[in-house]
A and B are shown apart, each in its own frame.
Chain A
Amino acid sequence: MNRKQKTLLIRIVAAAVFFVPLYLISEQLIPVRMPPAALFTLFLLPYLLAGYDVLRKALLGIRNRRVFDENFLMTVATLGAIVLGEYAEGAAVMILYQVGELFQSYAVGKSRRNITALMDIRPDYANLEVDGALHRTDPDEIPVGSVIVVQPGEKVPLDGVVLEGHSSLNTSALTGESALRDIAPGDEILSGCVNMNGVLKVRTSKEFDESTASKVLDLVENAVARKAKSETFIAKFARYYTPFVCYAALALAIVPPLFLTLTGSGGAWGTWIFRACTFLVISCPCALVISIPLSFFAGIGGASHRGILVKGANYLETLADVRVIAFDKTGTMTKGSFNVTGVHYPSMDESALLEYAAHAECASSHPVSRSLQTAYGRTPDRNRVDNVREHAGEGVTANVDGVQVAVGNEKLMKRLGVPFRPCHHPGTILHMGIDGAYGGHIVVSDELKDHASEAVRQLRRAGVEKIVMLTGDTEAVAERVAAELGLTDYRAGLLPADKVACAEALLQSCKPRQKFAFVGDGINDAPVLARADIGIAMGALGSDAAIEAADVVLMDDDPLKIATAIRIARKCLRIVRENIVFSLTVKAACLLLVAVGLGNMWLAIAADVGVMVLAVLNAMRCLMVEKL
């Protein structure tokens, strides 16, 4: 509790201590006779003690021509009750209102701390090594290229490269899974991971603001600024609701008694004005206004704890409505770690063929090219290569040592007029053209991720109606992978531009209120990620491009997290709807009861505070996403 809250608590307790005996006296439960004037003066004491700041704010509001805020409403309602001789009710409502305020302020502060604690990956210090001694330094002040030491149990403060030491890193703060990664000199490490056992000496490669931990935190903190539709709806609603109830109260205070007076059956003005005051007590929209952003914030916080970064409350809303999903094959459902598994019909020595292939592909960072370099076993010498041309969706041509080399699929061979022998092995087939003659082909294959088919099953169970795999790979490979995943719908042989067209077609096929998501690895799928209703990037740890392009970022490589993200979003949206419906129903019911004279001010304030407490507690359930 902060100072403000403590003061309020003391005021409430003191007011209650005064109030209870006075209430018992006024209800004649304690046989003390007291003239009404004395009782009135005494009741003012707890009333003012609890509510002086409300009165002050109401006055300031009137001076600034801002009526209809909650302070004004409470002031009018309670003063009205007191003027009508209901001293006890007036004071009690003020005290209970403040209890509600205190609870709200406490609950929000507490959840704010809880949620930020979940996301607490911000390192506090870095051990800077100066002349062999360690200095604890603010990570903000460490320039790129400094040498820092990370001891066991400490968070890695800045991104960098390990110079000395072996250890394992716990990446759970970033990925949500407590998986250990073994680290040796030369490895890149990311800030936010926890060093488990060895001492590491690290040369920093990024400034604090550019480091992974800061970026992830920024992302989550900025996420709340992108407000969900229901959030803006409620803010607007509150703007109209309160004035509406005030006018309704005014009408209630005047119309029925006037009508009764005119018809000659006695006005009962006091009763109706009291009911109108009760109306004002119910008119505060606090429960709604607080619980909706709280739900979204808790949902975003909970998701980030599971390694799912949602870049805005609006995306959480979209995610919940996803019914059609397309995903990229390589790197999303497969490991993306390709291996050369065979060299067929080589026209020369196998290693010579691999040498040509690796050199022709040396400019590409595609996983297939990397597998060629791995199989070649040495670093290609770029000086031996010139005239490199990428043919989108076909392959690469280049001159290596003056020899014309073409590496690519059947399309490329056909276009270049190279006679080739088709291959029946599953995998990516790289045909080689050497000076216009056929050089044989290299088979590169990829493995499915461990959870890939389970992920597809879970998506189906989560209510996704259509799952499509998009790939640039051949029909044969796509068919095999689709069968392993249990999918019937796939599009093979797509160029990057075709993928966008496919996404457009899928977007068109969505029924109203259905949303289309695309899952990719974020590096070469950026246009499709941007085109889909919601773009989900996988395995984004350390990839700035992916974080930039996507709306939802899965920090680890696990495709199961797609379904998890959808379930978290659904839960959050369900809670938001529950809160909207629940608060509005209770308020409407109370207004009705009071209008017909069945409720009193006690009911009104209990409903107001009670609904708010329940809505806040319900909103906090959004944080519980461990089992989703």
Chain B
Amino acid sequence: MKKTYQIDVDCANCANLMEETANKTEGVKHCTVSFMTLKMKVEFQDGVDASEVMERVRENCRKVEPDCEIYL
């Protein structure tokens, strides 16, 4: 399952960090973050609850970049 989320972040490096963090989050199979379009594309592992995983992704991203936002 793949989903795209709108995000808000100020710097390109932070977007890279968010991508790295999301990829390490449990339940995420693959994630790409585009700073230019401010979009996060997430491919979930089979059988996970997307909204629950995304809560965790957001929480982890906030740790690396306190000012980021993911619109769920």
Contacts and interface: CB of A to CB of B under 8 A. Distances in A.
Given A221-B39, A293-B35, A297-B36, A70 B13 contact: yes
Contact of B66 (A57, A222, A285): A57
Given A225-B34, A235-B16, A289-B16, A64 B10 contact: no
Nearest to A57: B66
A64 B35 CA distance: 23
A60 interface: yes
A437 to B, nearest CB: 60
Contacts of A101: 10-11
Nearest to B40: A225
B66 A293 contact: no
Contacts of B17: 69
A104 B34 CA distance: 16
A112 B66 contact: no
A293 B36 contact: yes
A529 to B, nearest CB: 24
Nearest to A220: B37
B64 A64 contact: yes
A101 B37 CA distance: 19
B67 interface: yes
A221 to B, nearest CB: 6
B36 A112 contact: yes
B25 interface: no
Given A70-B13, A289-B13, A294 B36 contact: yes
Given A57-B67, A64-B64, A66-B63, A286 B11 contact: yes
B12 interface: yes
Interface string B35-66: 11111010000000000000000000001101
Nearest to B64: A66
A290 B11 contact: yes
A277 B11 CA distance: 23
The binding surface of chain A is classed by DSSP as: helix
A238 interface: yes
A567 interface: no
Contacts of B64: 64, 66, 69
Nearest to A242: B13
Highest count of chain A CB atoms <10 Å: which of B12, B35, B37: B12
Contacts of B38: 112
Highest count of chain B CB atoms <10 Å: which of A60, A69, A225, A286: A225
A238 B32 contact: no
Given A224-B36, A225-B32, A104 B13 contact: no
Given A57-B66, A64-B64, A227-B32, A104 B39 contact: no
A105 B41 contact: no
Contacts of B39: 221, 225
B13 A225 contact: no
Nearest to A225: B32
Contacts of B12: 108, 286, 289-290, 293-294
Interface string A308-325: 000000000000000000
A380 B24 CA distance: 61
A105 B67 CA distance: 14
Contacts of A60: 66
Given A60-B66, A66-B63, A105 B13 contact: no
Contact of A221 (B13, B32, B37): B37
Contacts of B11: 70, 101, 104, 286, 289-290
A189 to B, nearest CB: 28
Nearest to B10: A105
A225 B11 CA distance: 17
Contacts of A105: 10
A238 B36 contact: no
Contact of A225 (B10, B41, B63): B41
B10 A224 contact: no
Contacts of A69: 13, 17, 64
B16 A64 contact: no
A60 B63 CA distance: 8
Contacts of A222: 41
Nearest to A284: B13
Interface in A507-523: none
Contacts of B36: 108, 112, 115, 224, 293-294, 297
B13 A285 contact: yes
Contact of B34 (A66, A224, A235): A224
Contacts of A227: 32
Contacts of B34: 224-225, 293
Nearest to A105: B10
A66 B21 CA distance: 12
Contacts of A286: 11-13
Nearest to A60: B66
A285 to B, nearest CB: 7
A221 B12 CA distance: 17
Interface in A216-254: 221-222, 224-225, 227, 235, 238
A218 to B, nearest CB: 10
B36 to A, nearest CB: 4
B20 to A, nearest CB: 8
Highest count of chain A CB atoms <10 Å: which of B13, B36, B38, B64: B36
21 contacts: A4-B10, A57-B67, A60-B66, A61-B66, A64-B63, A66-B63, A66-B64, A69-B64, A108-B12, A221-B39, A224-B36, A224-B37, A225-B34, A227-B32, A238-B16, A286-B11, A286-B13, A289-B11, A290-B11, A293-B12, A293-B34
Given A61-B66, A294-B12, A297-B37, 12 more contacts: A60-B66, A69-B13, A70-B13, A101-B10, A112-B38, A221-B37, A224-B36, A225-B34, A238-B13, A238-B16, A286-B13, A294-B36
